[in-house]
């Protein structure tokens, strides 16, 4: 049995991610609303993160709303001393699952600063908008100026969009110049 991890380029970026990533929504624990995974055990979550890294998984996907930031905090704590070995993707735009999303530059910036602090890092490998509406994708051109500024400062390496439906991906690529598209794909949701 060969357990060697394979890696591939993330879109057209210079980032090479493991073919299997670690989705960190579940380790966040309790969130307000109906989208919570429920209580989790931090020591088990940290063991799972280390287990994944030890087996070659280098791509960890999280969000500021997973456990109201707890998922990011666990990733930051776990990988503080090995930051150069992990690729972190996080998302901005959702405040929580109870309130409407806010894709204003002010909220995106505040959210990003909170994520950087919780993740204990000064850069994000892949910053994604968290489920923007097709209207936001088509009409909020300020986002691209903001993203370009963050890239020039080295705060983010790549930019993407996490969307609900693959149909929204074309607009995200054409209008927002997204380098990565993330779609839901799991046992309950087969839209991708």
Q: What is the pLDDT of residue 2?
A: 47
Instruction: List, for residues 119-155, the tens digit of each pLDDT value.
Output: 999 999 999 999 888 778 777 779 999 999 999 999 9
Distance CA 96, CA 69 (A): 10
Instruction: List, for residues 28-82, the tens digit of each pLDDT value.
Output: 988 776 667 778 999 999 999 999 999 999 999 999 999 999 999 999 999 999 9
Mean pLDDT within 175-190: 76
Catalytic pick among 7, 66, 97, 135: 66
Instruction: List, for residues 77-135, the tens digit of each pLDDT value.
Output: 999 999 999 999 999 998 877 788 899 999 999 999 999 999 999 999 999 999 888 77
Catalytic annotation on 7? no
**In Å, what is the CA distance from 15 to each residue of 1, 29, 121, 171?**
28, 29, 17, 23
Q: Which domains does the chain have, with CATH numbers?
A: 14-183 (3.20.20.100)
């Amino acid at each position: 049995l060969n357990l060697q991890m394979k890696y591939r380029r993330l879109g057209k970026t210079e980032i090479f991610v493991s073919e299997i990533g670690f989705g960190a929504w579940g380790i966040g624990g309790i969130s307000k609303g109906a989208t919570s995974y429920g209580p989790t055990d931090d020591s088990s979550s940290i063991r799972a993160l280390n287990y994944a890294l030890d087996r070659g998984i280098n791509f960890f996907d999280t969000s500021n709303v997973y456990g109201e930031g707890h998922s990011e905090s666990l990733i930051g704590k776990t990988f503080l001393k090995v930051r150069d070995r992990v690729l972190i993707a996080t998302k901005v735009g959702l405040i929580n699952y109870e309130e409407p999303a806010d894709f204003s530059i002010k909220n995106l910036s505040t959210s990003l600063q909170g994520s950087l602090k919780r993740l204990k890092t000064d850069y994000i490998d892949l910053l994604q908008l968290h489920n923007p509406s097709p209207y936001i994708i088509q009409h909020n051109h300020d986002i691209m100026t903001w993203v370009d500024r963050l890239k020039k400062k080295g705060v983010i390496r790549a930019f993407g969009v996490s969307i609900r439906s693959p149909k929204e991906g074309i607009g995200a690529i054409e209008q927002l110049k997204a380098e990565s598209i993330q779609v839901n794909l799991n046992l309950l949701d087969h839209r991708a």
